[in-house]
Chain A
Amino acid sequence: MSAYLTTIADGVQKGNQELVAKTVDEALKAGIAAEEILSKGLVPGIQALGQLFKDGQAYLPEILISARAMRSGTEKLKPHLTAKDIHKKGTVVIGTVEGDMHDIGKNLVKMMLESNGYEVHDLGVDVSADSFAKAAQETNTDIVAASALLTTTMLIIADIVKALKEVGLKNKVKVMIGGAPITRQFANEIGAAGYADDCASAVDEADRLMKLAA
Chain B
Amino acid sequence: MRIRNLSQLLASTALLLGLACGGGSSSAPPAAAPAPAPARSLAYNDPTGVGWRLVKDPSSTSTRIVLNLVGPSGLKTRGVGLNLQAPLTVKFGAFGNGLPINDAGVYQLTTAGSTDPSEPLAITGGVKKGNLLSVGIYQKDRDQSAKDSGATLCQIAILFDPAAQLTVGTSLPLSVPKAKAIPEDIGAVTDDQWTLDKKMRMADISIAVGTLTAN
**Is the pairing of A and B real?**
no
Residues of B within 8 A of A (CB): none
